Amino acid sequence: MKATLFTVLAFGGFLATSIASPVAVETSVEKRQDIDAIETSLETLFTQIQEQTGKINATLTPVADAAPEEDAVAAADEIAPQLEAIADLLDKSATIAKRAILEGRYVKEDIFKTVSIILYELLGTVKFILIKLGLGPVLFSLVPLILALVKTLKALDKVVTGLLIAVKFIADELLTAVGLGLLGLL
């Protein structure tokens, strides 16, 4: 009787283990798909940001460096929708990243690389804007963009541990460029 009881319990344990195993495999597949979804959304984000920065560059190219205030204000008004669009894109990507927070720790060089490229794109555009227009005319348009960028980086750091450390120097350079512009306003 004891042997039958142990056999039933052993078979029940084997059955429970057999049923539970595919769930664990499915969970790891889902985690991998979340990483891939984040990576794909970042690549899409980069493409969309490039479109907006291309429009900004096309608008500002004919403007003289350190343009007179009237020209700078007019150009700032023209590029304000693109800066707002970039801030909106960054806000949406932060929401995607928050939804996809993963339990495990993953090191994804591709995500680091894509985020770095996005930051370099934004850094180049912000510096170009500051050279052409100065900070005064575009200050109120740049603040939401910088805040959205910070929010996105923090959300992505929760997904990919160490991301802020990896892109710290690029983000510092971007914030330094804006900070030096603020010093020029004094």
Tell me, what's the pLDDT at 36? 59
Mean local confidence (pLDDT), 91-120: 68
* pLDDT tens by residue, 46-61: 899 999 999 999 999 9
Per-residue burial over 149-160, b if 16 or more Cβ lie within 10 Å, else e, is bebbbebbbebb
Phi, psi at 108, each rounded to 5°: -120, 105
DSSP 103: S
Helices 139-159, 163-185: inter-axial angle, 10-degree rounding: 170
Look up tokens 């204000």; give the residue. Answer: 73
Mean local confidence (pLDDT), 76-93: 93
Tell me, what's the pLDDT at 33? 55
Phi, psi at 162, each rounded to 5°: 95, 0
**Selection from 95, 90, 93, 83 nearest residue 135 by Cα:** 83
Q: What does the block give as tokens for 20?
A: 């539970």
Given pLDDT bands bounded at 50, 70 and 90, which one contains residue 9? Answer: very low
pTM of the model: 0.72
Mean local confidence (pLDDT), 178-186: 71
Residues 6+ apart with CB under 8 A from 168: none
Given pLDDT bands bounded at 50, 70 and 90, which one contains residue 97? Answer: low
pLDDT of 172 higher than 90 = no
Q: What does the block give as tokens for 92?
A: 């949406």
**Residue 121 near residue 53 (C-beta atoms within 8 A):** yes
Q: What does the block give as tokens for 152?
A: 């996105």
What is the C-alpha to C-alpha distance for residues 51 and 119, in angstroms, rounded to an integer?
15
First to last CA, the chain: 91
Higher-confidence position of 62 and 5: 62
Q: What does the block give as tokens for 45?
A: 């984000």
